[in-house]
Chain A
């Protein structure tokens, strides 16, 4: 059998490599490169996908000019920014405190750890509706507890600030496990002898945590941070299900607004320009992310 195999002329490594890459390259070309180029081109025209009989008009950078001078867009950016800052910082504070105690071994640790990871694996749309139900001002679980504690019922989703807090609570619920996962990995990656050396040197647990554990975990926490930054910046599903942009359009993220410009107003040219802006931001963040990834990958080898 082996002999017959040897008789056949083997495929060269080069051909094999090319063949292995072709499917992914085709997907990248069709689904990433081509759309991006076409978005770039579309973003310089004024047209609407809804009215295909109207000739697109070439307008240079007018769409960008229009978008960047549109206060509505800046409101969306401000809101998205507020959401990102709030949700990411709450997740990190919570995750680091939990991870600090979860890095040690104790009975049932593995089971607890596994169970705690589940939320990040769930469908954001289901989570959105679940929290919408929990946050309902009349029969939601949240207000049940709030009133039980002696406070007045809160109109969670009808007031912008409250709605923001509600989304942060839901997003934190979903994504804190991810930060915990990486923080525990980072903490446990620090050699025991380093912690012991510091203990013998007389460093208090707090001193050890702030001067050793946190700085030494920085690269991996950096991965978690960038990924959370990117993901919460593009967050769409959760807002769709939980607030729907309401009250008014005050809880619309950039993604949400983009979907509206593209598929409610059908301003295809402006939507393309906004998509390009969003992509440029994401690509910038991703570049830093990949740098960090490769650096850590190299360190671990």
Chain B
């Protein structure tokens, strides 16, 4: 079991800074997910940990031991890649045994390890087959078996599920969880899929443009995103962001078009802030800010006395047993999840659950902690 620390790590390619002075720590036996949009530097960071990429600055330590300059082979890490990297000319068993052969492990020991892998991953019937014809999920399972068979100190996974169908992903997620529980290997998992991150992670490291945005458990990150980006990236459908400004007219607060240059007159809609929200707004004391509320916390005509805006329903539909309705303010589309499906074209009050309303700085996107 290994503790991974990354200190002030930077990677620069020509004029692009892929990872920017990033520091973090992964505890022994923890499963941490590096999450972020493509190009945020999460894969580069993982490749640095593996030793496939040399950082231009900073340090990587395994159990407080510096490994920054070591070759991948000397780090005792294992990695599963996004695209299946099985060796097509070797059978499943030979693939799994490959890392052991490469290290000159005695035959008897290899045999025991193979038996363990076959049993643990339920590969019994597949062991003699060539990987080419296996379904994609089984291929990744074999890749996972090959990675863990030599009991690495660190398991690195680079979007291992992104090329798989939903059904395979569920299987693999279960398999990974089981592995984590049984072996307790310190694991770093890279993905751009927030749902995957939420369902797997002990902790999520959210990245953007080579920087760490937030480092927190999934529930914490969902409930208290540090800024507008984190709020948008986590959760599905994504959070609504309403642009709110103070008005001298009858209603003290107006929701306006997100895009300030929206030309239509009367595009602004009054926001009927509940006493609770009004108090928070006064406390911040700004004339402009961004109000964030997840669709899950935006209903219709709720009796909970939350803040509300009067809108026309432009679209309403049902996904599974969830209802969704969309409305537009100043050309931006927002959505909510009501208890009952409204008629399209109806005029309704969209009501927010006040406890789950987030307030962000309109310019910087930082969250106001009120």
> Are chains A and B touching directly in their complex (CB below 8 angstroms)?
yes
- Taking Cβ atoms with an 8 Å cutoff, the residues of A that contact B are 191, 193-194, 196-204, 207, 211-212, 215-216, 218
Which residues of chain B are within 8 angstroms of A215 by Cβ–Cβ distance?
Answer: 89
**How far is A22 from B325 in the complex, measured between Cα atoms in Å?**
65
Q: Known: A212-B87, A216-B89. Contact between A196 and B81, CB under 8 A?
A: yes
**How far is A216 from B88 in the complex, measured between Cα atoms in Å?**
7
**How far is A191 from B146 in the complex, measured between Cα atoms in Å?**
17
Which residues of chain A are within 8 angstroms of B52 by Cβ–Cβ distance?
Answer: 196, 199-200
Contact residue among B77, B85, B102 (Cβ-Cβ distance under 8 Å from A194): B85
Is the Cβ of B78 less than 8 Å from the Cβ of A200? yes
For B156, the closest partner residue in chain A by CB is A200
Is the Cβ of B99 less than 8 Å from the Cβ of A202? yes
Q: Known: A193-B81, A200-B77. Contact between A207 and B102, CB under 8 A?
A: yes
Which residues of chain A are within 8 angstroms of B184 by Cβ–Cβ distance?
Answer: none
**How far is A199 from B70 in the complex, measured between Cα atoms in Å?**
12
Which residues of chain B are within 8 angstroms of A211 by Cβ–Cβ distance?
Answer: 98, 101-102
Is the Cβ of A202 less than 8 Å from the Cβ of B103? yes
Question: Is B340's beta carbon under 8 Å from chain A?
Answer: no
**How far is A188 from B329 in the complex, measured between Cα atoms in Å?**
53
Interface majority SS on A: helix, strand, loop or mixed? helix
Question: Is B114's beta carbon under 8 Å from chain A?
Answer: no
Is the Cβ of B102 less than 8 Å from the Cβ of A204? yes
**6 nearest A-B pairs in the assembled complex, by CB-CB distance:** A201-B99, A203-B102, A202-B73, A193-B85, A193-B81, A197-B85
Which residues of chain B are within 8 angstroms of A202 by Cβ–Cβ distance?
Answer: 72-73, 99, 102-103
Is the Cβ of B85 less than 8 Å from the Cβ of A196? yes
12 interchain pairs (CB within 8 A)?
Answer: A191-B83, A193-B81, A196-B79, A196-B81, A197-B81, A197-B85, A197-B143, A199-B73, A200-B52, A200-B79, A201-B78, A201-B99
**How far is A204 from B74 in the complex, measured between Cα atoms in Å?**
11
For B50, the closest partner residue in chain A by CB is A200
Interface size counted on chain B using CB atoms at 8 A: 25
For B100, the closest partner residue in chain A by CB is A201
Question: Is B338's beta carbon under 8 Å from chain A?
Answer: no
A286 to chain B: closest CB distance in Å? 25
For A216, the closest partner residue in chain B by CB is B89
Is the Cβ of A191 less than 8 Å from the Cβ of B85? yes
B81 to chain A: closest CB distance in Å? 4
For B158, the closest partner residue in chain A by CB is A193
Question: Is B218's beta carbon under 8 Å from chain A?
Answer: no
Question: Is B51's beta carbon under 8 Å from chain A?
Answer: yes
Which residues of chain A are within 8 angstroms of B83 by Cβ–Cβ distance?
Answer: 191, 193
**How far is A201 from B146 in the complex, measured between Cα atoms in Å?**
9
Which residues of chain B are within 8 angstroms of A191 by Cβ–Cβ distance?
Answer: 83, 85
Which residues of chain A are within 8 angstroms of B78 by Cβ–Cβ distance?
Answer: 200-201
For A199, the closest partner residue in chain B by CB is B72
B66 to chain A: closest CB distance in Å? 19
Contact residue among B51, B82, B102 (Cβ-Cβ distance under 8 Å from A201): B102
Is the Cβ of A216 less than 8 Å from the Cβ of B73? no
Is the Cβ of A203 less than 8 Å from the Cβ of B98? yes
**How far is A54 from B187 in the complex, measured between Cα atoms in Å?**
89
**How far is A202 from B98 in the complex, measured between Cα atoms in Å?**
10
**How far is A216 from B87 in the complex, measured between Cα atoms in Å?**
8
Contact residue among B73, B88, B89 (Cβ-Cβ distance under 8 Å from A200): B73
Q: Mark B53-88, 1 if CB is under 8 A from A, else 0.
A: 000000000000000000111000111011101111
B339 to chain A: closest CB distance in Å? 48
A191, A202, A211, A218 pick with most chain B CB within 10 angstroms: A202
New contact pairs (13) apart from A197-B146, A203-B73, CB-CB < 8 Å: A194-B85, A194-B87, A196-B85, A198-B102, A199-B72, A201-B99, A201-B102, A204-B73, A204-B102, A211-B102, A212-B87, A215-B89, A216-B89
